[in-house]
Amino acid sequence: MKSVGIVVEYNPFHYGHAYHVRQAKKQTSSDVAIAVMSGSFLQRGEPAIVSKWARTKMALQNGVDIVCELPYIYAVQKAETFANGAVSILDALKCRTLFFGSEDGDINVFERTAHAWHEKKAEIDLLTKEKVKEGLSYPAAAAAAFQEAIYLEHLLDLSKPNNILGFHYVKAILERSPHMQPFTSVRIASDYHDEELPVNQKIASATSIRKALKEHGSFEAVTPYLPDATLKQLHNYHSSYGLLHTQEAYFSFLKHVFHTMDTAELEDVYEIEEGIEHRMQKAITHASSYEEYLSLVKTKRYTWTRLQRMNTHLLMRVKKTAMHELLKEKKAPYIRLLGMSKKGQQYLSLVKKELDVPLVSKLSSFSHPALDLDIRASRVFSLPICEPMQTELTEAEFKTSPIRYDEETDLFLSR
C-alpha cells in the first residue's frame, strides 16, 4: 500500500481541507493519507478550536486514513522546527511522499530553493542574525537574508505563509529523508489569512470560519463552508463543553502566570528573551483583553504569532533547558496514534514491524518527557471548561484509545 503524508491542524476541517486530501491521494497515486496533526495548541500559538479527538473524527470522515499527533515540542514552534518534526514522524511511518498546498504550486521551485539554501546555509544564517539585530522579525530577516545571499529571481517567494512551510518541508526532506518525494499544488480560493467568508463559493479559510463563529455566536453563518461531519463535531463539542476554544478564554490564566512568577522564572521560559518579559508584564497590567494585551506588546521585531507562541509556553511553563534538551534528538521520540480508518489500520499492520520509533496507542504503555508536555498541554487546554466536564476532557487523554472508523459504513467502531 502506498501512503502520502500531509501536515495539518484542521482548525476546523473545511472544504478546502477535503480538496487537499483528495488531491494528495490523486497526485501521488496513494492508497492511504496519513495526517500529522497538531494537538491542543497550534503552530501560531493558538488553542485549537476543539479537542484533538473531535478534529480526528472530522478528518477520518473526510478521507484521511491515519491521524497522528504532532508533539507539542514541534507543534508550537517556528516553521523550521514544525516541519522537521512532522517530516520525522512521516519518515518513521515509512511514508514516501509528502503533499502540501502552497501559493507557488511548483515543486521544482521549492526543490531549487532548498538546494540553494543548503549551499549557502552558513552565509544565510549569519545574515539572518544581523538582520534580526537590526530589528526585523525572524521570518522577515530570514527571507531578506536568503534573497541577499542567493541573487536569483526565479526562486521561491518566502514572504507567503504556505510557501514558507512548504520550503521547510522540502528542506527537511533534503536533509533527513531524501527517499521521500515532495508534491505540492496551488492553494485554491481563499487565502490562508483571509478573515472574511467568501461569497458564491464553498471554500473559506479556517481563519474566516473561526472569526465568523466568534462574531455570530452560532453555526448558521459557517454552515455552507463546512462538511456535515465537521458541523456535527463542532455542535457536539459545544454542547458537551459549553465553548469553542479561543485565545481570549486563556487571558485570565495568563495573568495568573505573570502574577505568580518572578522575573527570573519568566526569563527561564522557552522563547522568552531579550527582556521581552518586562514589556509583557507591563502590558498585561493595563490590558482588559488578550487582544489588547498583544497589541500593546507587539513590535516590528516581535510579531503577533511569535508573541502568541511565547504566551502558550508561559501558560505551559516550558523551560528553555527542557525544550532544548528535547529538541537535541533529531527524530521524533514516538508516534502518538489518534485515529485510523479500516484502510489505515491495514497499512499500520503492514509497516508496524518495520517501525524504529514506538507507536503509542495507550499512554499507560509508554512514557517520555515530550509526551509529558503533550499531557500538560491537554490539561492547560481544558482550563476554560467548567467542572465536571473539564475533568472529563483531561481524562480523555488517558482513556481514549485510537479512534477507529469504518469508511464503508461511515461509522465509528466501538472499542
The string of pLDDT tens digits covering residues 60-83 is: 999 999 999 999 999 999 999 999
Q: Report the number of distinct structural domains present in the chain.
A: 1
The C-alpha cell of 331 is what? 527524530
- Residue 14 assigned to a binding site: yes
pLDDT at 95: 96
State yes or no: 277 annotated in a binding site: no
The parts of the chain modelled with pLDDT lower than 70 are: 151-154, 189-193, 414-415
**How high is the pLDDT of residue 101?**
94
Identify whether 251 is part of a domain: yes
62 marked as part of a ligand binding site: no
Is 17 assigned a ligand-binding role in the annotation?
Answer: yes
The pLDDT score that the predictor gives to residue 118 is: 82
Q: Is 323 exposed, middle or buried (0-12, 13-18, 19+ CB in 10 A)?
A: buried
pTM value is: 0.92
CA distances from 231 to 15, 208, 285, 320, 343 (A): 12, 15, 38, 39, 24
> 154 a known binding residue?
no
Could you tell me which residues are beta bridge partners of residue 35? 6, 67
Known binding residue 19? Answer is yes
Asked if residue 18 belongs to a known ligand binding site, the reply is: yes
**In this predicted structure, what is the pLDDT of residue 153?**
58
Report the alpha-carbon distance of residue 284 to residue 289 in Å, rounded: 9
| Cis previous bond, 12, omega within 30 | yes
> Is 72 flagged in the annotation as binding?
no
Q: How far is CA 309 from CA 76, 267, 292, 303, 314, in A?
A: 6, 15, 16, 10, 9
8 is in an annotated binding site: yes
Q: Is 16 annotated as a binding residue?
A: yes
**pLDDT value of position 151:** 61
**Residue 193, pLDDT score:** 59
User: Could you tell me the residue range of the domain that residue 319 belongs to?
Assistant: 247-326
What confidence tens digit (pLDDT) does each residue in 281-325 have?
999 999 999 999 999 999 878 889 999 999 999 999 999 999 999
Q: Angle between the 79-92 and 161-176 helix axes, to the nearest 10 degrees?
A: 50
Say what the pLDDT of residue 137 is: 75
Domain annotation covers residue 271: yes
**5 annotated to bind ligand:** no
CA atoms of 353 and 370, how far apart (whole Å): 24
State the pLDDT at residue 154. 60
Contacting residues for 262 by C-beta, under 8 A, at least 6 apart: none
Per-residue pLDDT, 138 = 74
Strands 181-186 and 335-341: unpaired
Q: Which residues of 159-173 are buried (b: 16+ CB within 10 A; e: fewer)?
A: ebbbbbbbbbbbbbb
162 annotated among ligand-binding-site residues: yes
What is the amino acid identity at position 59?
A: A
Query: Does the annotation flag 187 for ligand binding?
Result: yes
Q: How far apart are CA 123 and CA 148, in angstroms?
A: 10
In a domain, 313, yes or no: yes
